[in-house]
């Protein structure tokens, strides 16, 4: 079973809202591991302080603290329960917050009903019950303490011990162990193996990062809770602990072949919060839904890719639901994001595009861009196909006609003969840029005129480094190695461009893009993005759409090798 660094990937479990990690806030790494919950935000709740000289090792099923005197192990019994045992080294479990106020911090008390110790966290609104299953506590401090002070439980060095830690809301029956520690560990390992076998049965020694990619997705999945209306794959169980309204599409596609139910939930989750205008939220998390920005309408493209990969076909009710949701989302762009008399829709800010600080948005930010037009064309065409399938040929004709209008305007108004420009929505003034965003129309594949497709494919070479497609050419004066969308390599742009190149007939280049990105993940893991020159992982290091992109590209590569 794959091993991984907890500096990069938290130890967690399918369905759980908490993990064990040294990452306690954005770009903040503690010396000790913490139980970090993602209910009501990202909050370190408990600190696990081990003896000096302890090393840490993790696999998808088991976490180990290793010391010269012995070992401590942790496994998940279920999404809400962690089992921990030790023999040799001791362990201190302490409240992460040193101060308790009426509105913050953690309170520690001993429950007189069952004798368990309970940490009650204001930040998460949850309780964390510690029940001793074997051995005895070496001590406890800060019971019922208010204000500032240390609150902790000590597990003894030398003698063996075992505990259970549960996250819950208000009350539970006293904890009773129904299985041994090793039986629990075996069940956790089997659950992960079953997931991996279902999602990636195609894996071979030539796709060595597959198991870890599956773990990133499996462990980042949470049960429904708060505004998260369905089982959801968060973007990360580090600080990027949300579902953004385009990230989810790549996770859905990666899961489609092995877990069609979970894939369907991923696709629909943001649509559960679709507003009356048809817009999707920017992001959804446990205790927050944000609408101040949107994300690009890649959902028609994603729905088509989802259907290609689903292990079982969607039924008529599901097709009708997808049609209704996609119709509203498309009409938002047509009705609310087009200047009167304009055929092309516009973004109001770089955040709407998903490429927040791309150089395309330097200067004017309310722009009609080629990528947006192409995504909308693909979505309109998907709607036309769905309408035909559902028995509404008039609607199919209408959607097809609108797609043609937008595509014609894209070519007539934004193509300058060499590349696409971005046009200020209010004035119509166009400006050529250097961002990879301006080449994203290649995603339309064979839907573009061949001469434009060929020009875009040639222009992509300026962005291609040894590790993949840089979002800004490394020779650009605007390039920044850790500049977010101003240089680093990203998963979604890679998948969309690889798919478009292949559909446009540029198979050799698509193969090259795929191979470089897969090799990048195999070397550097599943970071939010990567340094285009060194290949080093940047920002959040356990990002699910990156893992999903690897699985999408690796599965397709193996299928081609097998002659499928």
In angstroms, rounded to a whole number, what is the distance separating the alpha carbons of residues 391 and 552? 32
pLDDT score of 2: 87
Give the distance, in angstroms, between the CA of residue 208 and the centroid of all CA atoms in the same chain.
Answer: 21
| Predicted pLDDT of residue 363 | 86
- Nearby residues of 19 by Cβ (< 8 Å), 6 or more positions away: 10, 11, 12, 35, 36, 38, 219, 237
Alpha-carbon distance 276 to 92, whole Å? 51
Scan for tokens 């913050």, then name that residue: 104
Strand partners, 530: 489, 537
Query: 318 near 324, Cβ under 8 Å?
Result: no
pLDDT (0 to 100) of residue 18: 98
Q: Give 311's Cβ-side CA count (13 Å radius).
A: 16
CA atoms of 34 and 46, how far apart (whole Å): 5
Q: Which two tokens stand for residue 16?
A: 């759980």
Tell me which DSSP letter residue 464 carries: E
Bridge partner list, 368: 423
* CA 237/CA 408 separation, integer angstroms: 43
Q: What share of the chain is helix, strand, coil (3-state, %, to 5)?
A: 35, 25, 40
DSSP letters spanning 124-159? TTEEEEEEEEES--SEEE-TT--EE---EEEEPSSS
Closest to 468 measured CA to CA, from 536, 421, 381: 536
CB 7 within 8 A of CB 25: no
User: Collapsing DSSP states into helix, strand and coil, what is residue 6?
Assistant: coil
Sequence-distant (6+) residues with CB within 8 A of 183 are: none
Q: Which residues of the chain have pLDDT under 50?
A: none
Full set of structural domains in the chain with CATH: 18-188 (no CATH), 200-561 (1.50.10.10)
As to burial, measured by CB atoms within 10 angstroms (0-12 exposed, 13-18 middle, 19+ buried), residue 225 is middle
Strands 117-121 and 126-134: antiparallel
- Helix, strand or coil for residue 391? coil
Q: What is the secondary structure of 15-73 as a DSSP string?
A: B-SEEEEEEEETTEEEEEEEEEE-TTS-EEEEEEEEPTT-EEEE-SS-EEEEETTEEEE
The pLDDT of residue 564 = 62
In sequence order, what are the residues at sequence separation of 6 or more whose Cβ sits closer than 8 angstroms to the Cβ of residue 561? none
Say how far apart CA 151 and CA 131 lie, in whole Å. Answer: 16
Please answer whether residues 214 and 9 qualify as being in contact, where contact means their C-beta atoms are separated by less than 8 angstroms: no
pLDDT tens, residue by residue, 154-179: 999 988 999 999 999 999 999 999 99
Q: Given its phi and psi angles, is residue 40 left (phi above 0), alpha (psi -120 to 50 degrees) or beta? A: left
Dist CA 152 CA 141 (whole Å): 5
345 near 338, Cβ under 8 Å?
yes
Other CB atoms within a 10 A radius of the CB of residue 335 amount to: 11
Express each pLDDT in 216-249 by its tens digit.
999 999 999 999 999 999 999 999 999 999 999 9
The per-residue pLDDT for 311 is 85
The sign of the CA dihedral 481, 484, 487, 489 is positive
Q: Give me the half-sphere count of Cα atoms (radius 13 Å) on the Cβ side of residue 3.
A: 5
On the 0-12 / 13-18 / 19+ scale of CB atoms within 10 A, 430 is: middle
> Which alpha helices (DSSP H) does 156-298 contain, by range?
181-199, 210-219, 247-255, 260-268
pLDDT at 263: 98
The burial of 559, by beta-carbon neighbours within 10 Å (0-12 exposed, 13-18 middle, 19 or more buried), is given as: exposed
505: left (phi over 0), alpha (psi -120 to 50) or beta: left
The secondary structure of residue 173, as a DSSP letter, is P
């Amino acid at each position: 079973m794959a091993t991984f660094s907890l500096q990069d990937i938290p130890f967690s479990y399918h369905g759980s809202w908490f993990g064990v990690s040294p990452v306690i806030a954005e770009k903040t790494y503690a010396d000790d591991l913490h139980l970090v919950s993602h209910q009501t935000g990202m909050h370190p709740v408990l600190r696990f302080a081990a003896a000096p000289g302890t090393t840490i090792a993790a696999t998808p099923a088991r976490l180990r603290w290793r010391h010269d005197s012995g070992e401590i192990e942790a496994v998940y019994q279920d999404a809400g329960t962690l089992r921990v045992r030790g023999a040799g080294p001791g362990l201190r479990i302490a409240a992460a917050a040193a101060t308790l106020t009426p509105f913050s911090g953690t309170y520690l008390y001993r429950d007189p009903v069952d004798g368990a110790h309970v940490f009650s966290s204001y930040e998460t609104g949850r309780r964390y019950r510690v029940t001793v299953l074997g051995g005895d506590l070496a001590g406890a401090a800060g019971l019922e303490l208010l204000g500032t002070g240390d609150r902790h439980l000590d597990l003894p060095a030398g003698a063996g011990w075992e505990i259970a830690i549960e996250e819950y809301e208000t009350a539970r029956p006293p904890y009773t162990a129904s299985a041994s520690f090793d039986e629990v560990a075996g069940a956790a390992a089997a659950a992960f193996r079953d997931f991996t076998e279902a999602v990636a049965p195609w894996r071979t020694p030539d796709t060595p990062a597959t198991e870890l990619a599956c773990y990133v997705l499996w462990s980042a999945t949470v049960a429904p809770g708060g505004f998260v209306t369905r089982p959801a794959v968060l973007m990360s169980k580090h600080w990027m602990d949300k579902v953004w309204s385009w990230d989810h599409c790549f996770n859905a596609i990666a899961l489609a072949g092995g877990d069609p139910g979970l894939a369907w939930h991923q696709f629909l989750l943001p649509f559960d919060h679709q507003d009356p205008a048809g817009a999707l939220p920017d992001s959804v998390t446990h205790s927050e839904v944000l609408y101040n920005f949107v994300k690009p309408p890649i959902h028609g493209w994603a729905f088509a890719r989802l259907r290609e990969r689903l292990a079982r076909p969607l039924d008529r009710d599901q097709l009708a639901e997808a049609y209704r949701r996609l119709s509203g989302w498309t009409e938002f762009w047509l009705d609310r994001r087009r200047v009167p008399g304009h055929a092309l829709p516009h973004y109001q800010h770089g955040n709407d595009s998903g490429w927040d600080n791309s150089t395309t948005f330097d200067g004017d930010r309310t722009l009609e861009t080629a990528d947006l037009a192409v995504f909308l064309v693909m979505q309109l065409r998907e709607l036309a196909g769905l309408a035909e399938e559902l028995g509404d040929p008039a609607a199919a004709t209408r959607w097809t006609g609108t797609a043609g209008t937008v595509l014609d305007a894209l070519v007539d108004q934004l193509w300058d003969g060499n590349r696409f420009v971005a046009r200020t929505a209010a004035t119509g003034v166009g400006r050529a840029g250097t961002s990879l965003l301006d080449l994203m129309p290649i995603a339309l594949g064979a839907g573009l005129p061949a001469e434009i497709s060929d020009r875009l494919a040639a222009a992509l070479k300026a962005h291609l480094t040894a590790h993949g497609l840089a979002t800004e050419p490394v020779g650009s004066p605007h390039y920044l190695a850790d500049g977010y969308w101003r240089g680093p390599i990203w998963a979604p742009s890679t998948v969309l461009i690889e798919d478009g190149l292949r559909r446009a007939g540029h198979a050799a280049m698509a193969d090259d893009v795929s191979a470089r990105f897969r090799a990048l993940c195999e070397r550097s893991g599943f970071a939010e993005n990567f340094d285009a020159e060194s290949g080093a992982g940047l920002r959040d290091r356990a990002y699910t759409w990156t893992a999903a992109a690897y699985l999408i590209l690796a599965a397709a590569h193996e299928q081609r090798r097998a002659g499928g």
